[in-house]
Structure 1
Amino acid sequence: MVEMVARPYEGAFEKYALANPDVLCLSADLTSSCEIDKFRDKHPEQFLSLGMAEQNMLSFAGGLGLAGYRPFIHTFGVFLYRRPYDQLMASIAYPRRKVRLMGFLPGITTPGGMTHQAIEDISVMRSIPNMTILETGDATEVESICEAADSIDGPVYCRVLRGNVPRLFDTPIEVGKMRELSMGDDILIVTSGITTEEALRARSALESAGVSVRHLHLNTIKPFDDQAMLDHIHSVKGGVITLENHVTEGGIGSLIAEIIADNGVGKKLVRLGLKDTYAHGGSRPYLMNYYGLDAIALVKGVEKLTGEQLGISEQDLATTRVEAVHSTVKAEGL
C-alpha cells in the first residue's frame, strides 16, 4: 500500500516561507481550506488576509511583486481566474510579476459543484502570455511545489492537492521535465494530477492483457518540451491517450493534439476528460467514474484506440488499486 500523507502543503509552505522572508502568504478568506491557518497563527508577519475580494487581492499581489516581494496567493483554483480575470491579466501576467497563484481543489476534487470546480483553468491559463502552469500529482510534488513555482521568473499558476495525498514519486518536481513512468512501445498514455494514480492502477492490468504501455506524467503544463513529447509519440507503434482532470478542450489533450497536428504525425489520439460538461457535486471516486476519468475509463479508451476488447473488469482493477479505497474516506468538504 502506498503511503498517504496528511496535509503535505501545510508543512512544505511553512518551511519554504521561513527560509525566504521575502515570500508573503496571501489568503482570500479560505485560510484553513488551503492549509495555511497554522502559518497565519505562527507567522503573522508574513501573512496577509485580503478577504473575499479576489480582484483586489490579485492587483494587490501585483503591487507586492513590483515592490520586490514574492507573494503566494492561496484560494481555490476557480477563484484565481474566473472572477479576477482582468486583474490577473493586467496586474500580474502582462508585467510578469513574480506572483505564485496556488489554486486548490482542481477539477472534480471537490463536491462543491460548478461554482467551486476549476475544470477549464488550464485552457484559460495556457492562453495567457507569460504564465507558467504546474500541476501536482502526489504528496512529493505538493511538498516541492513552492520551490518549483518560486524558481520561475514570472507568474505561476499551480494546481495543488490538499488533505490526504498519496506518495507516488520519490523525487521532487523538475520544472519542464515530464516523468517517464513506463517505457512500453504499443501505446502512449499521458496523464497529470489525480489521473496519474488511475493510470497506475490500469497499467498492470493492461500489460497483463498484452498491451505494452509507455506512461508519462506531466507536472509542467506550460512551458512544454514539444520535442521530447514528439519523440515519445514516435516511439510507440499505436496511438496516444490523454486522461485529465479537466475538460478535453484546451488541456493536455489539446496540448498533445497540437503537437501531433503541428508535426504532421499520423497517429490516433483519444482524449479522456470532461466532455463539454460541468460536473455536479459528489465524492471524487463517484465523479471520476461518472465522467470517465478513472482507470476503467482509461481501459475503455485503450480498447477504442486499438479496436480490441481486452476483457478487463472493474474487479480486475480493484486488485491493483494504488491508494486506499477513496469511498471509505470521508469526502472532502469545502
Structure 2
Amino acid sequence: MATTPIETVQRPHGNNLVRWAKDRPEVLVLSADLTASCEADGFRDAYPDRFFSMGMAEQNMMSFAAGLAREGFTPFVHTFAVFICRRPFDQVAMSIAYPNLPVRLIGFLPGLTTAGGVTHQAIDDVALMRLLPNMTVLECGDATEVESVLDAAQAVNGPVYVRMLRGEVPRLFDPGAPLRLGQARPLGAGRDLAVLSTGICTEEALRATAALRTAGLAVAHLHVSTLKPFTDPLILETIAGVRHGVITLENHGIIGGLGSAVAEWMAEAGLGKRLIRLGLRDTYAHGAGRDYLLREYGLDAMALVRAAEDLTGARLGLTEAALTRVRLETLGTADKTEDL
C-alpha cells in the first residue's frame, strides 16, 4: 500500500549497496568517472579490490563487464542512464545481451530527473533496453524499491537494466513490501478508470488519484516497476475491469516505454478500451528543475487530472491546491546531491 512517506532517505542506493554486497564477493562495481555521482564511492571505499574505475570509456566498460561475467563475477555497472543506452549500445547488445550474461546496468538520472538538458536526460532508455532480447528492465519508484531492487536484479539469470534514483528519495512504500520482479504494485482499486504509473511519476500519480477519488471517481492505480518482461496478469485484469479506459504516466517518451507496453498488450489481448499515454510526446526537453519539467511536459499530477477528465468526460474542477502533497522535503538545497 502507498502511504504519505514517513521519511525521506538520503542516498539509499549507496548505503544499501555496501551492506548488500558485504557477503557477496562475486559482486564487483564498475564506474565511468562518475563514482560519487552514482553513489558508488561508499562501495569503492569499503571494497577497493572489487571496484574498477574505467574512466570516460563506456564502450570499453561494457566489454570489460562482459568479460568479468564470463569469469563468474557479477558486475554492477554504475553510470548515468544515457551513457548506458546511447554511446555503448552496440557493446550492450552484442557483448552483454546476446550472450545473456549476468551484468547489472545501473542507470542514474532517468528521464527528467536532471537539469542537465538533453545530453543527460535519458528519455529513450526504456525503449532501447526493452527491444534487446534477454534484457530485463526495472525502474525504482521510491526508497523502498531502491533498497530492494538489487535482490530482484540478482534473481535474474541474465542482464538487467535498472532505472535508479539517487540523492534524496522519498519512501512511498512500506519497507516490508519490497519490489517484486514481474509484479505490479496495487495502490488503489476502482471501476471507473485505471492509472498505471512508474518511477518518479508514481509520486505525482498518488497526488492526483487521491484528489480524483475525493471528486467522486473510482480509480484503480498500479505502480509498475518491471517494464520487461511485461507479463503481470494483474495489469490486464485491472484494465479489463474499468469502464472508461486507462492512463499511463511515465518519466520517458511515450514511444517505447510503459505506454507502448500497455498498448501492445491491450491490442494482443483484444481489450478495446481507450488509452491515454502521458509522457514526453516525441520531443526533447531542456534543462530546468524537475518540478518545472514535469509540469511543462505534462508528466505531473495536474496532467493526470486533465487526462482523467478527458477519459471520463467529467469536469471535476480540481486545482493544484486540491492535490495531495506526497513528498517530504527534509534537506536544504546545499545538502542535496549535485545535478551532474
State the TM-score bracket (shorter-chain normalisation). over 0.9
1:39 is displaced (CA, Å) by 1.8
Distance 2:76 2:270 in 1: 40
Count of residues in Structure 1 that have an aligned counterpart in Structure 2: 332
Distance 1:73 1:106 in 2: 15
- Quick one: which of 281, 288, 301 aligns to 1:282? 288
What is the SS of the residue equivalent to 1:26?
strand
Per the normalisation by structure 1, the TM-score is: 0.97
**Aligned residue number for residue 223 of structure 2:** 217
- Quick one: which of 129, 139, 144 aligns to 1:140? 144
What is the SS of the residue equivalent to 1:117?
coil
Per the normalisation by structure 2, the TM-score is: 0.95
Q: Which amino acid aligns with 1:283?
A: G
Report if aligned partners of 1:188, 1:239 keep a CA contact under 8 Å in 2.
yes
Q: Which amino acid aligns with 1:244?
A: E
Report if aligned partners of 1:77, 1:106 keep a CA contact under 8 Å in 2.
yes
**Aligned residue number for residue 247 of structure 1:** 253
**Aligned residue number for residue 128 of structure 1:** 132
**Aligned residue number for residue 306 of structure 2:** 300
Report if aligned partners of 2:15, 2:42 keep a CA contact under 8 Å in 1.
no
**Aligned residue number for residue 65 of structure 2:** 61
1:236 is displaced (CA, Å) by 0.8
1:326 is displaced (CA, Å) by 10
1:263 is displaced (CA, Å) by 1.7
CA RMSD of aligned residues (A): 1.4
What are the Cα deviations for residues 19-64 of structure 1, in whole angstroms up to 9, with x where unaligned? 2100001101000000111221221011011110000000000000
Does 2:28 match 1:29?
A: no
1:324 is displaced (CA, Å) by 3.0
Report if aligned partners of 1:283, 1:327 keep a CA contact under 8 Å in 2.
no
Report if aligned partners of 2:197, 2:224 keep a CA contact under 8 Å in 1.
yes
**Aligned residue number for residue 315 of structure 1:** 321
**Aligned residue number for residue 172 of structure 1:** 178
What is the SS of the residue equivalent to 2:316?
coil
Q: Which amino acid aligns with 2:107?
A: G
Report if aligned partners of 1:104, 1:161 keep a CA contact under 8 Å in 2.
yes
Report if aligned partners of 2:8, 2:329 keep a CA contact under 8 Å in 1.
no
What is the SS of the residue equivalent to 1:35?
coil
Identity among equivalent pairs (%): 57
Report if aligned partners of 1:189, 1:242 keep a CA contact under 8 Å in 2.
yes
Does 2:154 match 1:150?
A: yes
Distance 1:294 1:326 in 2: 21
Distance 1:11 1:96 in 2: 29
**Aligned residue number for residue 115 of structure 2:** 111
Report if aligned partners of 2:143, 2:169 keep a CA contact under 8 Å in 1.
yes
Report if aligned partners of 1:6, 1:164 keep a CA contact under 8 Å in 2.
yes
1:4 is displaced (CA, Å) by 0.3
Distance 2:131 2:117 in 1: 25
Does 2:244 match 1:238?
A: yes
